Structure 1
Amino acid sequence: MLIKELILASLLVAASLTYAATPVDSPDSAENQGGVAEEAPGTGSATAKAFVDSLHFKTGKVVLGDNLATLNLPEQFVFLDSTDAERVLVDAWGNPPDEKLPMGMILPAGISPLSGDCWAVTIEYDESGYVSDEDAADIDYEEMLEDLKEQAKEDNQWRAENGYESVELIGWASAPRYDSQGKKLHWAKELKFGDSEAHTLNYNIRVLGRKGVLVLNFIAGMDQLPQIEQSVPSVLAMAEFNDGSRYADFNPDIDKVAAYGLGALVAGKLAAKAGLFATALLLLKKLWMLPVLLFGWIVKRLGGKKSAP
């Protein structure tokens, strides 16, 4: 389906569903799946509520992987496991499916994932080895930014030739910072897709471990940067590797060392060879697709209930 046809279809379905994206208080909203508020009343709100109610929000302590790491969630956050995270990313937000599912997703409590005010943090694990931080004090991030901008221009030539919209790196939305004690690195890029007036926020956190890196990526708009920056300290504090997988547990005699350092985590591990943006797919919140996606979800659910022959 062409983009214009999809937008038209979304408008038609939206008119029939009268979907409202702003959560409101209700008698049972605080008890609704981890404190996520329900959608505003309306014909489409029942469908949206059914989708949200089908998600399994977790609070408090969450163990990731095979006792790899632990999230200690403050009360202002909730967690979705791998399966539910994919449903939100693909079914609700319109991202393309990925063969590698995230380990989960962190969301702000009290805000529906179907609301335009919602944002999220996806969690993955890159087991590529122990990343040395010896280069931490020597990295010139302003020089790196200029290199990344030039790389983006070159990649956009490839994108244009292959029918993709351009991706312009505007600059650092938040300059890279490294906590040498906690072994945590975070930074943010401001991106512009095609002719869009709204810029995209690409905020990243990396937690260094013995055999790899926890990859935490925020999905949010540039207008949500103040909220994200306010939440970053809490997100940084909640993610820790467990005993045996911590950075300090590294054993040089038996453990693999990654072929890159901190700078490459920010620039992209294979930036020089593969390009930063040529084939990259960033996770976005495409809420304009939501009415179509919810309609498809309803049809799928109804279609799955077939009578016996």
Structure 2
Amino acid sequence: MQEPLFMQPVFQEKIWGGNRLNTVFGFELPSDKIGEDWAISAHPHGKSVILNGPYQGMTLDQLWAEHQELFGHQSEEVFPLLIKILDAEDDLSVQVHPDDAYGKQHAGELGKTECWYIIDANPGAEIIYGHHAQTKEELTQMIQEGRWDDLLKRVPVKKGDFFFVPSGTIHAIGKGIMILETQQSSDTTYRVYDYDRKDDQGNTRELHIQQSIDVTTVPAVTPQLAVKEVRKGNSAVTTYLETEFFNVYEWQVKGELTIAAKGPYTLMTVIEGYGYLVVGDKEYELKMGTSCILPNEIKEWQIKGDVKIIASDTAK
């Protein structure tokens, strides 16, 4: 029986980061401006290292290349998903991501469709999610004239909200928000606006106006979610998304919950509480921030305790 593959977090310093990945999740952070924990990643900009078992010390991209049996023998060249926990101590830049075709042509990597589970949000917190322009010409003009209040659509958020952010969606996470992000394995971001912020050296960050205009969906489309909840005793499985890129679930466990694999492998990250993952006759501790992959051979497992997990898989 294969073991779950537990991941070493990869921390990314950001101009908008803070220290709540320490105060909330208990991670030891290298600075107090950490914006992102790349919890499960095979991306060159931050590779997860396996913490346990026969593959201990290997990186996830290496495992994908050399041990496809763990993933059900997939055809993709690169591991397709990237899981992050983000701590927005300040507003993120207003940005947009390309689709696969544009990303591969202009950035040499996948496009970036993503989704957000709001782990926590300060009172009054909001995101930018979409825009009001009706044509590319209007979008271009509003950007060039700096009419951000007219252009950008603001949406209040609270703990437990979920948002699907397809490529082409203008978006920004606002200050005071922590999220679990499930996304395609891409680090291509086009900044539309960054509040004229300066870094420690007094420089403003690079903007990508033409690329942003190229890839933005106009008029904006707000995806309709078909959220499904299945209760099992005191526990529940919620399916937030089923897309060509990834499927995303919430496992809210109070007591014990048995789960069967739906995809060729399953990713999971603990965002609340404490418990145990049971595979066969082995138990593994689950605390906040724990991330692992359940490889192909593991077809069923149990979660015990009082714990909330965001999980994902692919249809292939």
Whose Rg is larger? 1
Q: Which structure ranks higher in relative contact order (CA pairs < 8 Å, sequence separation ≥ 6)?
A: 1
More strand by share: 2
Shared fold, TM over 0.5: no
More helix by share: 1
